[in-house]
Chain A
Amino acid sequence: MVEKSKAFQIGVHCFMILLMLFCLIPFLLLLVSSFTAESALLKNGYSFFPSEISFDAYKALLVDSSSIFRGYFLSFVVTVTGTLSNVVLTLLFAYPLSRRDLPGKGFFSFMVFFTMLFNGGLVPTYMMWTGVFNIKNTLWALIVPNLMMGAFYVIMMRTYFTTNIPEAVLEAARIDGAGELKMLIQIVLPMSKPIIATIILLVGLNYWNDWLNGLYYVNDDRLYSIQVLLNKMLMDVQYLMTNAASSLGQSIQLPATGIKMAVAVMGALPMFIIYPFFQKYFVQGIVIGAVKG
């Protein structure tokens, strides 16, 4: 029996290790390819065992700093401002909804919830943002549409407040003469750190990974975030070549095959750096979100 159990454990470990490899191997191919010499890439293709290692792709990226670093910087600015606005909006909306005594609470909750069931679709959304608000080719386009507040997170935060913040605490503060805003900042906020951390991470992930707003509303290449830039480079090799050629001068042979992979590595890198430290919150967010969406 013990023997059998041990064999089972080893079997499961083997399976899990294979599964891990399945998840990670594509990234390995990307990483190795980005460090492979252009000539080797053209001859042998993207491979796990490069015949010649080279940093040319990254060097070229450093020289052609204008578009890549602007994209990086833009993504960073968009992610930080977008996430902050989202969390503030969500907090300010979810807190009143968590108050059982608030008149009209049912109506407002339904208003949030209904957006999860029905939407106007891309056509009117696109026309409104571009026609009425003129956000085409502005920084707003990357921050405001679709991502700045979501029903999902509002409901998640409201549920957290109703289950984790006892009404008696709020009542006591009120008797002490605290105003609503003061209560929110001094009592609710400190008690809600885990849910706020979780929402910051999930929303930040949405902003960092977003390329749809860029695809829909931006065609000015000074406003390409890193994801939009990646998208353009993959779909349009010409874009990569002309863009780099203009800043490098025509004389330099550009390692285009390797650069593609190097840019993708840079696009994915921040997630890989942040994730191990915040793994707990990501998992927590997914579990809370799924159990009570």
Chain B
Amino acid sequence: MSKKMKKYKRYLPLYFMMVPGLVYLIINNYIPMGGIIIAFKKFNYAKGILGSPWTGLDNFEFLFKTKEAWTITRNTLVYNMLFIVIGTILAVAVAILLNELKSVMAKKVYQTVILVPFLISIVVVSYLVYGFLSTDTGFINKSILQPMGKNSISWYSDPTYWPFILVIVNVWKNLGYNCIIYYATVVGLDTSLYESAAIDGAGRWKRIWHITLPGLKTTIITLVLMSVGRVFYSDFGLFYQVPMNSGPLIDVTNTIDTYVYRGLMELNNIGMASAAAVYQSLVGFILVLSANMIVRKIDQESALF
């Protein structure tokens, strides 16, 4: 007994160190997890979370009867798929090209510059987009469409273009980030393979096709699966801030995250908002677990757990 006590006493300082972090985790993460019961209640501010009456799955029933339930699911999934496919192809291509360059200096400059958009807040990004798309003073309307004799487009009230705009903005913002990860992998590949390929007389494209791409395979699969695990989550700023919360665009910009926000803050529809959030958390959880299971099968090292 005393020996065991002594053993734990030795670790006491270590446990003390963890107290602030644990308290934070419990408050910031675990208490809200318990709060998902709101979705199963008829929430009433006066009665509080615990005092509000249970309603079973009513909130979910209401949610899935609305047209929005389908729209937000479709938007969240389709945009994420587009981001994953286009983003990955471009990032891998740029990483490989970067690696083929001889000048060390140039490589560094390119790498540095394409990461810049990643470091900028989405609020500033929405200003950049506004500079191009503003109906009265935007660059595209004033400097491109008007001189060509074409009519101005009211970008912020015409949903036709937004799927493209959102994809472009997303690629613009995240290309550098993804590219750096793939580039780090390419640089880490075994150079002796390249040398022997060169001796065998393999051309550049052959080398890329037979050595670089296979070398990147694990990283690509891992990162793609990780993103697939997160397809139920969207970048709130991209879908809310960049289109400037514009009503006419809502059909193509509403995702689960923006729906939850609007339900909670603008429409005061707590039931629906919390049901949508729980729907997101649960499906998201299942997706992450499945994605990780597949990653584990492919490459144990890359799995999250």
Q: Do A and B come from one complex?
A: yes
How distant is A45 from chain B, measured CB to nearest CB, in Å? 3
List the A side residues contacting B175 at CB < 8 Å.
23
Question: A128 CA to B38 CA in the complex, in Å?
Answer: 12
B110 interface residue per 8 A CB criterion: yes
B113 touches A209 (CB 8 A): no
The closest CB in chain B to the CB of A279 belongs to B112
Pick the contact of A179: B13, B129, B204 (CB < 8 A): B13
B121 touches A120 (CB 8 A): no
List the A side residues contacting B181 at CB < 8 Å.
286-287, 290-291
A128 touches B97 (CB 8 A): no
How distant is B182 from chain A, measured CB to nearest CB, in Å? 9
Question: A124 CA to B31 CA in the complex, in Å?
Answer: 8
Chain B contact residues, majority secondary structure: helix
B residues 259-283 with Cβ under 8 Å of A? Answer: 260-261, 264-265, 270, 273-274, 277-278, 280-281
Pick the contact of B123: A121, A180, A205, A267 (CB < 8 A): A267
> Which of A15, A22, A41 has the most C-beta atoms of chain B within 10 angstroms of its own C-beta?
A22
The closest CB in chain B to the CB of A155 belongs to B304
The size class of the interface chain A forms with chain B is: 35 or more
B142 touches A44 (CB 8 A): yes
List the A side residues contacting B264 at CB < 8 Å.
122-123, 126
Q: Which of B71-79, B189-197, B236-244 contacts A (4 or more CB under 8 A)?
A: B236-244
List the A side residues contacting B124 at CB < 8 Å.
227, 230, 264, 267-268
List the A side residues contacting B184 at CB < 8 Å.
287, 291
Known contacts: A46-B139, A208-B121. The answer to whether A24 contacts B113 by CB under 8 A is yes
B128 touches A30 (CB 8 A): yes
Q: Which of A58-66, A91-99, A190-198, A241-249 contacts B (4 or more CB under 8 A)?
A: A91-99
B82 interface residue per 8 A CB criterion: no
Question: A120 CA to B25 CA in the complex, in Å?
Answer: 12
A159 interface residue per 8 A CB criterion: no
Question: A210 CA to B122 CA in the complex, in Å?
Answer: 9
B87 interface residue per 8 A CB criterion: no
B141 touches A45 (CB 8 A): yes
The closest CB in chain B to the CB of A212 belongs to B236
Interface residues of A (CB under 8 A from B): 5, 8-9, 12-13, 15-16, 19-20, 22-24, 26-27, 29-30, 33, 41-42, 44-48, 88-90, 92-93, 95-97, 99, 102-103, 108, 111-113, 115-128, 131, 133, 144-146, 148-149, 154, 179-181, 184, 205, 208-212, 216, 227, 230-231, 234-235, 257, 260-261, 264, 267-268, 271-272, 275-276, 279, 282-283, 286-287, 290-291, 293
Q: List 17 additional A-B contacts (Cβ < 8 Å) besides A96-B18, A116-B304, A133-B27.
A: A9-B101, A26-B132, A46-B131, A47-B142, A95-B14, A117-B289, A119-B29, A120-B31, A123-B277, A124-B33, A124-B49, A209-B119, A230-B121, A234-B123, A279-B112, A282-B119, A287-B181
A-B contact pairs, 5 of them (CB 8 A): A96-B14, A115-B25, A122-B261, A124-B32, A234-B241
Top 9 A-B pairs, shortest CB-CB distance? A124-B35, A45-B142, A120-B32, A121-B277, A93-B21, A209-B121, A180-B13, A264-B127, A26-B128
